[in-house]
Structure formats: C-alpha cells, structure tokens
C-alpha cells in the first residue's frame, strides 16, 4: 500500500511535467513584414493574418505569399528571414539556433521591443504599431518656440570622423547666420558667419578640439538677433574607442552578412544609435527606408529615431 501511495503522486508529477513540456513556447516575434502573410495555430482549421509584433510559438505554421517577406526575431537572439513558402516554426528554431547572432540578435530584440506590436492570436494584448509615437512618417521638425531656429542635426551625438556638417532650418528673411562653438566651461572656441543653413568643420585641423570632450554649438540670425537655436552637443571619440567600436562592428557585420540589405541597415543603425553615434545611425535608417519603402516598420524605426534625437 505504501508503494501505491508513493507511485500515485510521482505519476501525477510526471504528467504535469509532460504537459508543461508539451505546451507551446513563444519562439519568435514578427519584426518586419511585406505582402500577404498568414499563421496557423495548432488545432485551427483556417489561417489568420500575420502582423508585425505577433508572437509565434513552436507549433505554429507560417505562410508567406508570392513576393511576400517577413523577418522574425528569435527570443534567444537571432534573425530569420522568410520569402514565399510555408514554414513550421519548430524548424525555424533549428535554423535560428544554428547561427551565431549574439550582437545582431540583441539589437533586433531591442528594435522589436521599442516598436511594440499587435495583439497576438492567443489573446495577449500589446501595442499596435500605429499607436506607437512616431509611427506616422515625418519630415524635419518644425520650430516649437517663437523665434527659435530649429536644428535639423542630432541634438546630442558622438562622432567618429572629425569632418562634420552641422545643419539647421533656414529662417525666412535671414541672409546670414552666426555659428558659435563652446567648450564644457562655456568658453567660446569658434565663431563663424555663413549665408547657408549649414556649416562644415574639421574639428581637429580647424579647431583642434580634444577628443572625448563635450562641446556645444548654437546658431543665431545676424540680421534678426531675436532668432537663435537651442544648444546642441557634439563629442569626437578617442582613437581607442573608435578601434574598440570597429572591432565590435566587424563581428556584427560577419553575423549579418547573409541578411537582406535593408534589414542589415536597420541593425547597423541600431548599433550606432546604441553607441550615441546619431549621425551614422540616421544614415543607415534612411538607407533602409530607401531600399524597402513598402516596409512600414523600417519607416517607424526612422521616425522614432528622429523624434528622440531632433
């Protein structure tokens, strides 16, 4: 009788373990989509639309239409791209797990997390992409304050190259601008006048700025002194930091070498953004949108970036 008493709870424990193991586990989140995409859940007779932000479990099946495209972010780090065909998610897990994607996987998961997502088929509610701030494509920011010259350059950025072109929005009726550069102690390092709404500088040869130090710049209208910009900051990275950055970048580029070009650009953009290299980040985000203008998620990544950095 004692044996029976022991075996009975053990049997229940085994059943519970088996049932938990058999439960569908979330493996991917849908990142970017194009075309007609569908997903089928276990036991379902029909198909549902696949949308950005949805979670895919191990027993799901994904169908991509002709000329369709979807990129999936693996929860353990990794990226899988799908074109026309029907795919079992459990097979995609093997594919994702076989690739080295430590850096690219983390970056993609960051991007997907920032974008939010749609309500998944299991009923779990998340944000819809169109509800996320920045989802509507914007141009350059407009002046929010009276008599303010809007800066169309990242307000805070590190730089790799000492050659930089700083830009701002032109003001109607202004024929000349005064550009001022200050160090962290608010000492004036440079003053230049220009008829253009931009100024190109060589931060090493022209000004001899110290690397890894923050500098601040502001623009004023010569013939309308009441107009001026807010201060923006730039910092030129040291040679050691640039070398370390390039080492990491080399590993990342090897990881993403087989990916579609626009997705590569989005990941590289996130890499530079995470290192506060906003000028480089914007360049890669813009390239992604230009290469794939029909993928809304790439537009949203760019718009969110502009909203945060301008």
**How confident is the chain (310 residues) per 10-residue block, as mean pLDDT?**
52 48 76 93 90 92 94 87 94 81 85 66 38 36 69 95 95 94 95 96 90 96 92 96 96 91 95 96 96 94 91
Residue 146 located in a structural domain = yes
Residue found by looking up tokens 């997907």 in the block:
112
Q: Are strands 156-159 and 232-236 parallel, antiparallel or unpaired?
A: parallel
Residue 211 located in a structural domain = yes
Q: Which of 131, 156, 175 is the last residue of a domain?
A: 131
Q: Which of 105, 131, 157 is the last residue of a domain?
A: 131
- Asked whether residue 283 falls in the same domain as residue 182, the answer is yes
Instruction: Give me the DSSP letters along 121-151.
Output: TTS-----GGGSTT-S---SPPP-STTBPPB
| Dist CA 163 CA 170 (whole Å) | 22
Q: Which of 131, 162, 190 is the last residue of a domain?
A: 131
The DSSP symbol for 260 reads -
β-sheet bridge partners, residue 221: 177
Give which of 33, 57, 267, 260 is closest to 129, Cα–Cα.
Answer: 33
**Total number of domains constituting the chain:** 2
Domain ranges, residue 78? 24-131
Instruction: Say if CB 221 and CB 213 are below 8 A apart.
Output: no
Cα dist from 59 to 74, 96, 130, 193, whole Å: 15, 15, 28, 65
Rg (CA), the chain: 26
Q: Which CATH number does the domain housing residue 283 bear?
A: 2.60.40.3580
| Dist CA 278 CA 177 (whole Å) | 24
Q: Which pLDDT score is estimated for 225?
A: 86
- Asked whether residue 139 falls in the same domain as residue 222, the answer is yes
- Asked whether residue 80 falls in the same domain as residue 190, the answer is no
Q: Which pLDDT score is estimated for 182?
A: 96
Q: Which pLDDT score is estimated for 166?
A: 97
- Asked whether residue 285 falls in the same domain as residue 233, the answer is yes
72 CB burial (10 A radius; 0-12, 13-18, 19+)? buried
Q: Which pLDDT score is estimated for 97?
A: 75
Neighbours of 44 (CB within 10 A): 12
Residue 19 located in a structural domain = no
| Dist CA 40 CA 118 (whole Å) | 16
């Amino acid at each position: 009788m004692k044996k029976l008493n022991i075996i009975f709870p053990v049997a229940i424990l085994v059943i519970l373990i088996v049932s938990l193991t058999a439960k569908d586990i979330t493996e991917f989140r849908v990142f970017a989509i194009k075309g007609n995409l569908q997903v089928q859940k276990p036991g379902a007779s029909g198909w549902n639309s696949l949308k950005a932000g949805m979670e895919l479990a191990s027993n799901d099946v994904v169908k991509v239409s002709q000329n369709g495209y979807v990129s999936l972010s693996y929860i353990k780090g990794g990226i899988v791209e799908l074109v026309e065909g029907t795919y079992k998610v459990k097979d995609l897990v093997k594919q994702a797990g076989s690739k080295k994607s430590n850096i690219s996987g983390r970056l993609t998961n960051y991007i997907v997390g920032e974008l939010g997502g749609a309500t998944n088929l299991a009923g779990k509610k998340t944000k819809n992409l169109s509800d996320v701030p920045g989802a509507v494509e914007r141009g350059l920011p407009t002046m929010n304050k009276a008599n303010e010259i809007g800066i169309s350059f990242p307000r805070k950025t590190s730089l790799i190259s000492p050659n930089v072109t700083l830009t701002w929005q032109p003001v109607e009726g202004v024929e000349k601008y005064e550009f001022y550069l200050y160090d962290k102690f608010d000492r004036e390092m440079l003053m230049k006048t220009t008829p253009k709404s931009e100024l190109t500088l060589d931060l090493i040869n022209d000004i001899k700025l110290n690397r890894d130090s923050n500098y601040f710049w502001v623009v004023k209208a010569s013939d309308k002194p009441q107009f001026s910009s807010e201060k923006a900051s730039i910092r030129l990275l040291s040679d050691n930091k640039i070398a370390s950055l390039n080492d990491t970048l080399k590993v990342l580029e090897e990881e993403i070498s087989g990916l579609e070009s626009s997705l590569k650009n989005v990941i590289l953009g996130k890499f530079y953004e995470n290192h506060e290299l906003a000028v480089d980040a914007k360049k890669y985000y813009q390239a992604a949108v230009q290469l794939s203008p029909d993928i809304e998620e790439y537009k949203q990544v760019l718009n969110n970036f502009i909203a945060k950095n301008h």
